[in-house]
Each structure stands twice: as structure tokens, then as C-alpha cells.
Amino acid sequence: MNNNKVEQTTEALNPARRKLMMAGATTFGAAAVATFGAAQQADAAPAKSTTPQARQGAKAMQTITTKDGTEIFYKDWGSGRPVVFSHGWPLNSDAWDAQMLFLAQRGFRVIAHDRRGHGRSGQPAQGNDMNTYADDLAAVIEALDLKGATLVGHSTGGGEVARYIGRHGTKRVAKAVLIGAVPPTMAKSAAYPNGLPLEVFDGIRKGVADNRSQFYQELAVPFFGFNRPGAKVAQGTIDAFWAQGMTGGILGQYACIKEFSEVDYTEDLKKIDVPTLILHGEDDQIVPIGNSAQLSAKIVPNAKLKVYPGASHGMCVVNADQVNADLLAFLQG
């Protein structure tokens, strides 16, 4: 293992989290990446792209078109050093509202896209796999000619960031941030025998297929830790989670479940050769910290792990002030 700098802001992690996860199998699963059919190995390069005029307010909608003809919606605000965000499952780029507003107001250029099959991007039957997701991210970065970017990924988006670096390197990347991220892998395997059994993810598939609207409403509760004693439930936050989920297409979202659960990002993590900040909630009921951040921090060279005591998977919303402060400090460091 590498000699990583690990900062834990809590004395001990709750060993009962695994039992909570197993008991709530059908509420697990807020990260995204997917293999629905054969994985698309070809590089996704933009066939056409709009110019980044949103910073001047010239366009309300911006998209690039990938090699396979899929339109990818993105936001591009501000100027200065670029920070690129990759969202979790089943959400879209609106999940980064708190971080994008905060950093844009402090002189950074912030970019976020909706993953294919999610949000305002196209909903193709093909390409719903992590390799293609990473190539779509590369298409956005290359179309905007971003250099020295900080890549920030939450949940499945953390897998997307890792796979992007694994496939495309860090020539355009200065730093990386993984927040509540799924790497190195979620599902139990020979390499990770303490992972979660596939039955957990089968429960997610069933929830999406049977009634994804109801499933997303219910999933939002543990996602944000609203099922914990003393939690202040914000109905608007639940509604926003549901609305973001329902803007995407069921086929792509269903396919994505396999990618955030069964893909092994270990080799991708080893290729991250830029300073990396890993943030994770100690009480993350969706992506248990023992299966993810604690392992990733040992694999990624030059990684720093910071654990938020009692925080949920939805820490970018519930703990936005702290996340924003940590991001700013890392960007300025």
C-alpha cells in the first residue's frame, strides 16, 4: 500500500453500517455507471460541439455530440481555473448546485454535464457503460479545451473520474476529488470479499423496474440520512432528488446499476498521479466507507482522506458548507 496522508475526523467508524446496508438492500444504490449489453470501447470524441457561450449568457442550453451521436448537456459558468463535476446515480448536474454556485462566485470556472441516460442528455440504448461515460466526459473536456482542471466526482461520478484518468490520463488534469465515491468496487468479488452481495443490487434493479418514481422517493431518505434519529427532514431536498431522477431514462438508469456496483476501479485508481482529496460520510448508508473511501485512500498515490462524522451519502447537500470549504481549500492549496 502507498504511504498516503489519511485524515480522519472521527475517532471510530460504526461497524454496524454493514448490517444497516444489508437490511436496507432495496434502498441501496446511489452511484451510477452501466454496462447494458457489450461495453463500448471506442473513444467518444465530439462530432460537433457548441461553443462555450454560457459564460456570456448567450445560450440557455449547451450540448456536445459524441462520436456515436449522443447529445451530452453541460453547464459552463464563470472563468478562471476549471473545476469539472461528475454526478451520482440517478441524478444529473443539478446535484452540484451548491458547489457550482459557491465556486463560481469565488472566481472559478465550473463545468458539469448530465451523464448519458440521465437528466437533459440523450437517452441512447447503447453506451450505457463506464468506459463510454468516461469517454463522454473526455469529449466535454476536449470540446471546451480545458487544461489544468480539477475533476470532482460524487458516488458513481467518482467512478467516472477514476475511469477517465485510467483511460485518458492526467494531461488535462491538475487535481482530483472523490466524494462518497464508489471505487474501488462495491460488489463482493474474489479481490474484495467484504463487498456487498449482488442480491443488494438486484433489489435496486427491481425497485427501478417495478416503480422507479416510488423507489426514488424512498431512496432519498437514507441517501440524505433523513432516517436517522434527530435528523431534520427537508422535503424540498427529497423532491429535488426525485425530480432529478425522473428526468433521466429508465433504460440507461437501469443499465447504470451494474456499472456502479460491479465495475472494479482498482487499476484506474493506481493511475491517479495528481493530488487527490477523498471526502466521505462516516454514516454513509449508500456507499459504506469501509468498502470505498478507506480502501481508495490506500490505493491512490498522494491521496488525503477526510471523514465527516455522522455524515450521509448526500453530504454535498446536507453538509454543503463544509464540503465547499474543503473544496476551496484544496483548490487553493
- Per cent of the chain over pLDDT 70 is 82
Catalytic residue among 284, 292, 296, 312: 284
pLDDT in tens, 104-129: 999 999 999 999 999 999 999 999 99
Catalytic residue among 49, 86, 121, 155: 155
C-alpha cell at 140: 466535454
Helix (H) or strand (E) holding 251: helix 250-262
- 59 confidence band (pLDDT: 50, 70, 90): very low
Query: Which class for 274: exposed (0-12), middle (13-18), buried (19 or more C-beta within 10 A)?
Result: middle
Q: 152, 157, 138, 150: which is closest to 175 by C-alpha?
A: 150
Beta strands 63-65 and 5-8, pairing class: unpaired
Residue 280 annotated to the active site:
no
Alpha-carbon span 191 to 185, nearest angstrom: 9
Residue 93 annotated to the active site:
no
3 state SS of 208: helix
Residue 155 annotated to the active site:
yes
Query: What is the DSSP secondary structure assignment for residue 25, as one 8-state letter?
Result: G
pLDDT in tens, 219-250: 999 999 999 999 999 999 999 999 999 999 99
